[in-house]
A and B are shown apart, each in its own frame.
Chain A
């Protein structure tokens, strides 16, 4: 457990909670990143519905660019995965979040905060298969 970072993680989590709360109280929207990305990408979304998602995603990506320039270590990956494996993983995440209607933010944070039964089942399920996936991939090395 030498990599355990309880305090920064708690602060980071609180910030994610604040962001989700702003989106909910100001705009009545759920901060589910997979949903925001999908509805931004899909052609059937109206331009007005697309523009707010574009702004949110711009903030999410922009802060990554600025932070990376100052502290690149925040994006370090201590695990090595080949690019074909990363591509398969991305595909699974894309298909899975669409079928399951959400990801770690929509189900894990927003849905769990509402005690939504669907989100609890979803979070439990993806944590279990995530652990199995890591086990099969040979752990965190």
Chain B
């Protein structure tokens, strides 16, 4: 029952995206095309989702814990940092370019159309790329801390990494 509810949530989400027209990239681009032939449908999708989920959130605040889990895991950060704004700006640029955001792209993957497949592969690569880029400076810093005498710059070419 617990596991089935995850599957069920995914199905309902997918049906919502399809019925709402979100799996048609033309409707996304049409919404973002404020100065052209504007299609306000996406506002209704967001409005419908937010009105229902805002009620759900109110219900949550009255419950001590979720039905199947020990606690609610909801983000609590409130600070606006450059990373949030820069990341959202980059996401928006890609969203407008192809007319896909992550949910509709995944639901469209099942059509096996090349656009959806290429988009999802590139999106997954982009997500993992961030982890890779963030891991590298951290690892280098750790290496430096372990051997303060031999930083990358002072080591002779061909010298062993650590003595």
Contact = CB atoms under 8 A, between A and B. Distances in A.
Given A55-B3, A94-B122, A125-B85, A137 B97 contact: yes
A31 B56 CA distance: 12
Contact of A105 (B34, B40, B102): B102
Q: How large is the interface on A (under 10, 10 to 19, 20 to 34, 35 or more residues)?
A: 35 or more
A25 B92 contact: no
Interface in B1-37: 2-3, 5-27, 29-30, 32-37
A67 B40 contact: no
A91 B126 contact: yes
Nearest to A131: B32
Interface string B120-155: 111111111111000000000000000000000000
A64 B29 contact: no
Contact of B103 (A33, A42, A89): A33
Secondary structure of the A side of the interface? helix
A110 B53 contact: yes
Given A64-B107, A93-B91, A133-B32, 4 more contacts: A14-B16, A15-B15, A19-B9, A131-B32
B109 A33 contact: no
A58 to B, nearest CB: 6
A92 B90 contact: yes
Interface of A: 1-6, 8-31, 33-34, 37-38, 41-42, 51-52, 55-65, 67-68, 72, 74-79, 81, 83, 85-101, 103-105, 107-114, 116-118, 121-123, 125-135, 137, 139-140
B113 to A, nearest CB: 7
B25 to A, nearest CB: 5
A21, A58, A108, A137 — which one has the most chain B CB atoms within 10 A of its CB? A21
Contacts of B119: 86-87, 89-90, 93
A123 B93 CA distance: 13
B44 A74 contact: no
A116 B59 CA distance: 17
Contact of A98 (B5, B78, B127): B127
A109 B123 contact: no
